[in-house]
Structure 1
Amino acid sequence: MIDGKKIYKENIVIDLDVNTKEEVVETLAELLLKNGFINNLHAFIKDVQERENHMTTGIGNGIAIPHGKSSSVVESTVVFAKTTKYIEWESLDENPVNIIFLLAIAEKDKGDGHLRILADISSHLMDDEFVNEIKNATTENEIEQILSSI
Structure 2
Amino acid sequence: MAKEARISRIITVENITLQLEAPLAWQDIIAQTAPEEEPDLPDPRDMREQIIAELIDLLLPAEVIQHQGRLYTDLIFRERRAPTGLGHGIAVPHVRSEHVRDIAIGFGRTDYPIDWESPDGEPVDLFFIMVAPTYDDTIYNRLWPKMASILQYEQTRQALREAEKPGEIIAIIKSAEM
Instruction: Give the TM-score of the pair, scaled to structure 2.
Output: 0.74
Q: Structure 1 residues 146, 96: CA separation in 2 closer, same or farther (over 3 Å shift)?
A: same
Tell me the alpha carbon deviations over residues 99-148 of structure 1, each in whole angstroms, 9 at most, x when there is no partner.
00000112232x22112111001011112222221122121110122123
Q: Distance in 1 between matches of 2:17 and 2:36?
A: 24
- Give the aligned partner of residue 8 of structure 2: none
Question: What amino acid sits opposite 2:151 in the alignment?
Answer: L
Deviation beyond 6 Å, 4+ runs, structure 1 = 12-16
The answer to whether the 8 Å contact 1:125/1:131 transfers is yes
SS in 2 for 1:148: helix
Deviation (angstroms), 1:76: 0.4
The 5 Å alignment of 1:15-94 reads 17=39, 19=42, 20-94=47-121
Higher strand share: 1
Instruction: Give the TM-score normalised by structure 1.
Output: 0.87
How far apart, in 1, do the equivalents of 2:88 and 2:77 lie? 23
Aligned residue pairs total 148
**Separation of aligned partners in 2, 1:87 and 1:14:** 21
- Structure 1 gap ranges (5+): none
Q: Which residues of structure 2 form unaligned runs of 5+?
A: 1-15, 19-23
The equivalent residue for 1:112 is 138
Identity of aligned residues (%): 26
1:98 correspondence with 2:125 = yes
Q: Name which one, 1 or 2, has greater alpha-carbon Rg.
A: 2
Quote how far apart the aligned CAs of 1:51 are: 1.1
